[in-house]
Amino acid sequence: MLQRFSYLTIFILLSSLLLSDYGWLNFSAVIDDRSGDWLLEKNASRRAASADIVIIDIDQKSLESMNEVAGSWPWPRAIHAELLSAIAAQQPKAIVFDVLFNEPDTFRADSDQLFRDTVLQLHNIYLPSTLLVDGIGTRLADLPAVYGLQKTQDAKPDARAPLLLPLVLPPETWRGGLINFKKDADGIGRHYWIYTETQGWRLPSLPARIAADFNWPMPQGSDIRINWSKAHQHISYSDLYFDFNREKPQRPANELSGKIVIIGTAAPGLQDLRPTPLSANYPGVEILATSIDNLLHGDWLKTPARVYFAPLGLLLMLLLFLSFQRKVNTLYSGGALLLATFLGLGIFWLGLGHKQYWPIAAAIAWAWVYYWLAALFAYLAEKAQREQAIHLFGRFLDQRVVRQLVAQGDIHSSQQAESRELTILFSDIRGFTTLSETRTPEYIVGLLNRYFSQQVEIIFRHGGTLDKFIGDAIMAFWGAPMNDNEHARHAVAAAIEMSAALVKFKTELTDLGADFDIGIGLHTGPAVVGFIGSDARLDYTIIGDSVNLASRIEGLTKGISRVLISDATRLACNEHFQFVPHGSFHVKGREQEVELFEPRLNSDEVRKTS
C-alpha cells in the first residue's frame, strides 16, 4: 500500500481538494472566518469608535428607573416624543431609531398621536424596518419615495415583500431602511447589508440609507465586512430623559450637536443581542452603530475573493513536497512552515490596519494538512523500510545487531552495492559426501542443523555477517554492512572459536566423531558487497577475487591445519594472535604463491577466554 503512495500522490490529491474548496465548496472558509474573528477582536481594541456617533441606550438601568413614569416596556410613545424634542433642540446631524414601530398602541392612541406629530416636524429622523422570511407582504411599488427603494430594470411591478414597516407613523416619515441581522453559515454576524434585492427591487439597509442622504462613499456590492472597533459612547436613556425634564439641566446643552444619535437597547432583557467576532452576545444597536461608523469614514474592510489565495496554498504545498522529496529534515520543514504561519498572521494583522481583510489562514491550513500527511507517510515509509531491513539483514546478522544498525541508520533495505575491504571466511565439512552415504537423510539434516546453528551463533557473536550456506559449507564475512576497522581480528577470533566448538561437538557424535571434521579458510581483501540479484530475488552477498581466494584457502586446510589464513589477514591483526607459518602454496587462478598461516590465541587472549 505504501509503495503505491508517495509525496507526489499526496500533493496531487490535496491540490485537487484545495482547488475544489476554493472553486465552489468553500468548506475551509470557516478557518478563514475563525482566524479572522480572533484577529478582528484584537484589532478592535486598538480602533477608537467615532466620536460623531452616540448611542442613547435603553439599558437595564433605564428599564428600572423609568418604570414609575413610563411603566413596563414597551413604553408609551409619548416618552420617545418628549426625548425626540429635547434631542432635536441640540441640532444633531441625524436621529436614528433601532426600535420598531410597526404596531399601533390601541390603549394609548393619544400617545401615538403625539409621537406622530413630533416625528412629522423633524426631517432628520431615520426609522428601521425588517424583511421577514415569509408572509403576504407589502406591494413594493406602493412604498413612499422617502423609503429609498431602488427599482432595477428587472423589477416586477406587482412584487411584494413581507416587511415590518413603521406603520405607527405616516408613510412620508418612513425614511430609513432594513436592520436585518446578516449571519454567516456558522451563525456569526461579520457583515452588514447595503441592500437586499428581491424581484428586481433593492431595499436599502438603514446605514446605507443614511450614507446616501449624506453622500458618503458607498461600497460596491450588497454588503460590507464590518471593521470592528471599541464600543461607541453610550448615554443611558433614563439619564438623558430625566435631565431634559429638570428645571435646570445638568448635562451639556450641546453634547449631541452635529452627532448621529442612535436610540436603541443593549439591555439583556430586551434580547437584541447577536453573535459577532467580538462577543457571542453583542448588542444589535452597537452593530448598527459600527456599520454606520464604517460608512461614515469609508473604512469598512475590503475583502478579495478567497480564490485569489488558492495559489498561496498550492505554493506552500509545492515547497513542502520538494523538501520531503529531497529528504530535508522534517523538523526543519515544520519550522519553516511555522515561520510562514506567523508571517501570514503578521501580514493579516498589517492588512487590517489598512482596511484590508486577507483570508490567508485556510491556505496555510492546507499546507499544514500536507505537512502532517507527508510527515506521517515519511514515518510509515521509514518504519516499513526499517522492518524490511531488519527482515532482510536478519538472515545474515544477529537480530539485536540489525535493530541497532537500522536505528543508527547504518543499514537500510536499499543499500547500494559498494567495494569494501573485508575479511571472508569459508568453512566446509570434510568427507561430507562419504558421511551422507552411510546415514539416513533425516539424520544428516538434523546433524547439519545442529552444527550450523552452533557455528552461526559464533559468527554472529563476533560481529560477522552470514552470506549463505553452500551445501555443507558456510560462507561469512566481516566489515559489512557495519563498519568494522578490526574485521580481520574478529574474523580470526571467530574461526578459532568455531574450531574449538567443533572439538566439543565431535564428542557428542559418538561413532561419527572420528570422521567429522571441518576446514576454515580466511582472506582479507577488497570485494563488492551489497544486494545482488534480480527484482524477484535479492541476496546480500559479496563477489570478487578475494572471495575465490578465501574458498581456495579453505580447500588447502586438509592435512595441514583446521584453520588457515592468508598473509593479508595475518598482517591486518598481527598483534592479537600467534601465527604458525605453513609455507607458500600455489592457488588456482593466481600466478604468485600464497603464504598461509595457522592462527592461535596468544597468552593474553587465552587468559581472556578462560
Select, from the ranges 214-228, 418-432, 519-533, the one with the highest average predicted confidence (pLDDT): 214-228
Percent of the chain past pLDDT 70, that is, above it, reads 91
Question: Given pLDDT bands bounded at 50, 70 and 90, which one contains residue 445?
Answer: confident
| Phi, psi of 353, rounded to the nearest 5 degrees | -70, -15
Structural domain harbouring 213: 53-297
Instruction: Specify if 435 maps to a domain.
Output: yes
Across 368-374, average pLDDT: 95
Residues 270 and 313 in one domain: no
pLDDT band at 604 (very low <50, low <70, confident <90, very high): low
Task: Judge whether 592 lies within some domain.
Answer: yes
Residue 554, all three cell numbers: 579453505
pLDDT number for residue 1: 46
3-state secondary structure of 96: strand
Residue in 508, 520, 492 with CA at minimum distance from that of residue 451? 508
* 275 plus 186 within the same structural domain: yes
The average pLDDT across 411-432 equals 80
CB atoms < 10 A from the CB of 179, how many? 28
What letters, b where the CB count within 10 A reaches 16 and e where it falls short, cover 16-46?
eebeebbeeeeebbebbbebbbebbeebbee
Q: Cβ atoms within 10 A of the Cβ of 134, count?
A: 6
Q: Does one domain contain both 332 and 471?
A: no
Q: How many domains does the chain have?
A: 3
Segment 351-378 shows an average pLDDT of 94
Average pLDDT, the chain: 90
Closest listed residue to residue 226, CA positions, set 271, 285, 129, 292: 292
Cβ atoms of 100 and 166 closer than 8 Å: yes
Mean per-residue pLDDT for 13-33? Answer: 93
Helix 487-507 and helix 441-461, axial crossing angle in degrees, nearest 10 = 140
126 within a domain of the structure (yes/no): yes
The CATH number of the domain holding residue 603 is: 3.30.70.1230
Short-list 102, 103, 175, 179, CA closest to 144: 175
Question: Does residue 234 share a domain with residue 130?
Answer: yes
Is residue 26 in some structural domain? no
Domain shared by 129 and 221, yes or no:
yes
Tell whether 228 and 367 lie within a shared domain.
Answer: no
pLDDT tens string 319-347: 999 999 998 999 999 999 999 999 999 99
Q: Flag whether 116 is in a domain.
A: yes
The model's pTM is 0.70
Classify burial at 96, counting beta carbons within 10 Å of its beta carbon; exposed 0-12, middle 13-18, buried 19 or more: buried
pLDDT in tens, 273-285: 999 999 999 999 9
Instruction: Let me know whether 273 and 124 are in one domain.
Output: yes
